Structure 1
Amino acid sequence: MADENGTPEAVPGNVLEGEHLLLGGSMEPDAQGRPEAAWYGDGAGEPAAFREGCALADVGGLVATCISGDAADAFVSAVFTCYVPAPGRLAGALSLMGDGRVAAPVLLAGLAPKEFCVWCPAELAAGLGEWIRGIAAVESGGVAPYSSVEFSHGAPLSTTLMLAGPEAAVVLGDYLSEGASLPGPGTLANVRLDAIDTVVMRPEVGSFAPYLVVVPDASARVLWRSLLSFQSVAPVGTSAVWGRVAEEAPGLVDFLDDPIGRRLPADLGLQGLLRPGGDFIGARALDGAGGRTEG
């Protein structure tokens, strides 16, 4: 994503690229130029890992931005379509433009009072960053309602791993100390996996509720290799990950495949990400288009 001044950041590398190549990964650049493993070998058996055992993927192409300030609650309520998440809660949402078209799908987390973090697919991150920063700078009649809102890079120098499947909780649970637990669906938590401090998120996309583990780059290789030591764990590429997401939300993947041809939430089957009440940017335009859910 662009920095606080809107200047694009340098493209980061992938600290796990060597690990992916050792496993026969086919590397392709994501939208920011970061190399990612699209599949391993011919990729034919990867979808089965989501149903049997535990699928492990490097999904570092998610870009995080933190939002804070006295007006942060009002700001995220305006620019995202979910309810404002309490600290420790995680929600799927859309950011809409004024005409009701989708700017980006996101994950929005409450970190602390008046502090949030938003994750966005890399291919939409720059556009979303420009859009929300523009809203934050709005001034009318000498009043700037969001002037206190600040942005910072979320989870710098980190890698995001995804674990999903019937054995995912068992695998991660093996790293927990006595009395510790993993976050439930729709939540996130700071979790210490053996000696590694991580943030673990549990987003929900229909019946798909994977674990997303944000791990420091310095520890990513150690954790990756350790996870692969479990017989139930199989590496999968990003193609398989998005294929699984498409089973639950095909419109979301269609949108990511063609983000320039932006559409209304109803066109993508994403009305479920709109909170009732219509008090977010773009909602008024949806009234006339029949694309908003009523409270």
Structure 2
Amino acid sequence: MTTITRNLPWFIKDLGTSVVGQKCYESLVENLDINDIECIKYSLSKGLGLGIVVGGSIMKVPQLLLIISARSARGLSLPAYVLETLSYAITLAYSYRNGFPFSTYGENFFLTIQNVIITLSILYYPSTRLTKSSSSGSNIALALIATAATSVALAYLPDSSLSALQLSTIPLSLFSKLPQIRQNARAKSTGQLSAFAVLSQIAGCLARLFTTSAEVGDLILTAGFALALVLNIVLGVQMWTYWGKDGEREQVKERMVPETIHAPLREKENLSDREASPVPAPVPTFAVAPQSPGRSSPVPRAGSPHIRQPSGRKWARKVD
């Protein structure tokens, strides 16, 4: 068997060497040494890391599609996404500056981009079907300026300041999840929150705890992933608890539309009905002068000037 593994095509050997290194490739692939625990652990970490990077490139796509299809960001917390995006960006800059393997932080690159797009979508789409901010364009412009300024600042910060910022990602992770958790608990609903994104974040945090301890050993990164795992589990429990209740609440809201919204519409409809239906002309009445006993008043004839006829209509009946 080792004869085959030692004579694999060059492109397979180069790919394996680039992933797990020359030493572990020779030990695990060419020599088939299954007792090399260190290389097995390292290779498993590399495989998980690459899987997380690939998964991170599409992790938030279902969330974005939910917002676009519903044309609403109902249930999504804007502060939560802003803080989460900042945390991803700081971790990306810190890991790149320290020369960590791309497999240990590559998903942060894709998640930062996806979160920026989702944040802009939250600003653009209304949180409910009945309201839409007229200043969404200015908010999006301010968000783009803030994103560009943050990117430049992270690129040119000194290493000591960037390390301090990386330490701040632990409270950032906490405060980025708490607004979403609080909003879910208050509304008893998860709104447009994607279950795929939540479950993917739980699995990603579990895998990152393993890969960080195996390849990097950075205590700050490990603590950040551990805290993020706990908070993502809380979101997962909320997703399970409130599953299926979003549609019921939406139907209730549609049935209980505020009266002030429909009152002007009904008034307009009633006015149109009154204008469309002909109004009957008032029937003229004649006052009869009181008569003294024993006298009879002369009966007016047709054409008499004492009878006032309305213009445009002739009476075909005499008044008795």
Same fold (TM over 0.5): no
Report the TM-score when normalising by structure 2.
0.21
Q: Quick check: which has more Rg, 1 or 2?
A: 2
Structure with more of its chain in strand, by fraction = 1
Report the TM-score when normalising by structure 1.
0.22
Structure with more of its chain in helix, by fraction = 2
Higher RCO (CA < 8 A, seq sep 6+): 1
